[in-house]
Amino acid sequence: MTSSVIKENVPMLLMGIVLPFYIAAKMESGNYDLLSFPTNWTPKLDLYVSVVYIAWLLGQWILYMLDVGDVIPGPVLRQGKRLNYRLNGFFALVVNIIVFLFATLCGFRVAVIFEKITELVTIACLIQFLISFILLCTQKTENLPIYNINPVGNRGNILEDWLVGRSISPRLGFLDLKFVFARTGMIALAFFNFSVMAKYYEDNKTTNYTLLLAIGMALVYTADNLYHESFIVYIREMSREGCGITLLVYVIGIPIEYGLVVSYVATTKHELPLYCLLLIAVIFLLGYWTYRSSNNEKSHYRANPDDPIFKKYETITTASDKHLLVSGWWGMSRHPNYLGDIVMHVAMSFAAGFTNFLPHLNATLITSMLLHRERMDCDECKDKYGEDWEKYCHRVKWRVIPYIY
C-alpha cells in the first residue's frame, strides 16, 4: 500500500521538475500561450554554463560562511535545541549585484543567463538530485540527533526518506544547506531579471517602463526578504519540514516562476500606459506595507511584549501561558502577512496585462499555497491550544482577508 507521504510528494516532485522546463521552453520560444505545448523543452547540458553555475553556487555558500552579519538562534526544536543561523543574505545580494554590474562593464554578455535558461535549469536539477542522493546515503536515522530528525520520514521507507528528507536541517559544519538554498533562489531571481533587462536593451536599444516596474517590484520583494532574513528562519519549510528532493527541486522554480512576468513583458514588448503603472505600483506598495508592518508587529511583540506601544493591545492568554494578539494587524485577520504577500504577487502579475494566463501562474500558485498553509497553521494551533484557539478564532473571525475570507 502506497503511503500518504509518497502520494503527496511524488506529484509535487514531478511538478517541481516539469514546470521549470516547461516555463523555460516558453521563454525561449516567446510563445506564452498556456494551451500551446512547447516542443523544445528537453533538458540541455552545456559544459561552460554548468561550470559557471557550480562556481556561482559555491560562491553563495562561501558568502554565507563569511563573518558578516548577525548570528541568531532559530526556532526551538525537540529537546529544546536551537540551531544558529548567520543573517547576511542582504549582504550576499549586494555582492552579487556588484559582481553582475562589474561583469557587464567588463563586456561580459550577461544576457546569456536568459538565453541559456534551459541549460541552467538542467544543471540546477542535476545538482539538487546529486545533493539529495548524497544526503540519503550519508544521513542515517540512528546517527542523527533527535532534534534534527524529520518526523515525517525515518520510517524505514527509503523512497519516503528521499522525498521528504531524513533531517530537518542538514548541515556541513555551520553551513545550513536548506537555508542557503532558499536565499540562493531569491538571489538567482535578481540575476535572471537583470539578464532579461540586458537582453531587452541589447535587442531594442531602448527602455520599457513596464519592464522596469516589473523588475523593480521583484527586486523590492527579494531585497526585503533578504534584509529581514530572520523571518525566513521561522517559516514552515525551514523549521518543521525535512530537506528532501521535493523541497530541493522547489527552490529551482523560484527564479523561473517568479521571473515569468519579467520575461513575458520583455519578450512580447508589452507596455502599459503610465496611469496603469502608477496604479499597479500603489497596489504593490499597499501589499508591501501590509506584509512588512504585520510581520514587524508580530516580531516586535514576541521580542518585547511589555513595550508601551502594546499597552492597549488585547490578547488571549492560553493554558500554556502564551499570548495570542487580537489587536492591531493581528486583530484584523489571523494572517495579515499572507494577505500582504498575496497582494504583492497579484500586483506583480498585473504588469503582464491580461492577454495570457501564464504570467499570472506564479501569483496563482503563491495564493493557493498560502491559503493552504493557513489551513495547516490553523489545524496545528487547534491541536496546540485547544479551547483557547476556539476563543481566538471566535474573536478574530477572518482567516486572511477581512470581511471576505
How far is Cα 215 from Cα 398, in angstroms, rounded to an integer?
A: 33
Q: Is the separation of the CB atoms in 128 and 251 below 8 Å? A: yes
CA distances for 374 relative to 23, 236, 287, 334, 397, angstroms? 28, 11, 18, 9, 13
Query: Does position 1 have pLDDT exceeding 50, yes or no?
Result: no
133-191 per-position pLDDT tens digit: 999 999 888 888 888 888 888 888 899 899 998 998 899 888 999 999 999 999 999 99
Please list the residues that pair with 172 across neighbouring strands.
Answer: 175
Query: With 0-12 CB in 10 A as exposed, 13-18 as middle and 19+ as buried, what is 396?
Result: buried
Q: Which three cell numbers stand for residue 143?
A: 546517527
Q: What stretches of 156-237 adopt beta strand conformation (E)?
A: 171-172, 175-176
Q: Which three cell numbers stand for residue 41?
A: 523543452
Q: What stretches of 180-332 adopt beta strand conformation (E)?
A: 315-317, 323-325
- How high is the pLDDT of residue 321? 81
8-43 per-position pLDDT tens digit: 889 989 999 999 999 999 999 888 988 787 777 788
Name which of 68, 280, 287, 60 is nearest 191 in CA terms: 60
How far is Cα 119 from Cα 258, in angstroms, rounded to an integer?
A: 18
Query: With 0-12 CB in 10 A as exposed, 13-18 as middle and 19+ as buried, what is 319?
Result: exposed
CA distances for 347 relative to 217, 268, 276, 283, angstroms? 9, 19, 11, 6
Q: How many helices (H) and strands (E) does the chain have?
A: 17, 6
Query: Does position 206 have pLDDT exceeding 70, yes or no?
Result: yes
Q: What is the CA radius of gyration of the chain?
A: 22
Q: Which amino acid is at 282?
A: V
How far is Cα 171 from Cα 165, in angstroms, rounded to an integer?
A: 13
Query: Does position 242 have pLDDT exceeding 80, yes or no?
Result: yes
- Higher-pLDDT residue of 246 and 237 is 246
What is the SS3 assignment for 81?
Answer: coil
Q: For 323-333, what is the mean pLDDT? A: 90
* Residue 46 CA from chain centroid, whole number: 27
Q: Which three cell numbers stand for residue 84?
A: 544558529
- How high is the pLDDT of residue 2? 61
How far is Cα 18 from Cα 44, in angstroms, rounded to an integer?
A: 14
φ and ψ of 314, to 5 deg: -100, 145
- How high is the pLDDT of residue 264? 96
Q: For 253-261, what is the mean pLDDT? A: 93
Q: For 262-290, what is the mean pLDDT? A: 96
Query: Does position 75 have pLDDT exceeding 90, yes or no?
Result: no
106-127 per-position pLDDT tens digit: 999 999 999 999 999 999 999 9
* Residue 57 CA from chain centroid, whole number: 17
- How high is the pLDDT of residue 221? 96
Give 93's contacts (C-beta < 8 A, 6+ positions apart): 186, 187, 190, 222, 223, 226
How far is Cα 251 from Cα 131, in angstroms, rounded to an integer?
A: 13
Residue with cell 559555491: 58
CA distances for 47 relative to 54, 57, 88, angstroms? 11, 15, 31
Query: With 0-12 CB in 10 A as exposed, 13-18 as middle and 19+ as buried, what is 127?
Result: middle
Give 222's contacts (C-beta < 8 A, 6+ positions apart): 93, 186, 187, 189, 190
How far is Cα 17 from Cα 122, in angstroms, rounded to an integer?
A: 10
Res. 312 pLDDT band, cuts 50 70 90: confident
How far is Cα 43 from Cα 120, in angstroms, rounded to an integer?
A: 9
Q: Is the separation of the CB atoms in 64 and 86 below 8 Å? A: yes
Whether the full predicted model's pTM is greater than 0.75, yes or no, is yes
What is the SS3 assignment for 87?
Answer: strand
Q: Which three cell numbers stand for residue 307?
A: 513595550
- How high is the pLDDT of residue 156? 81
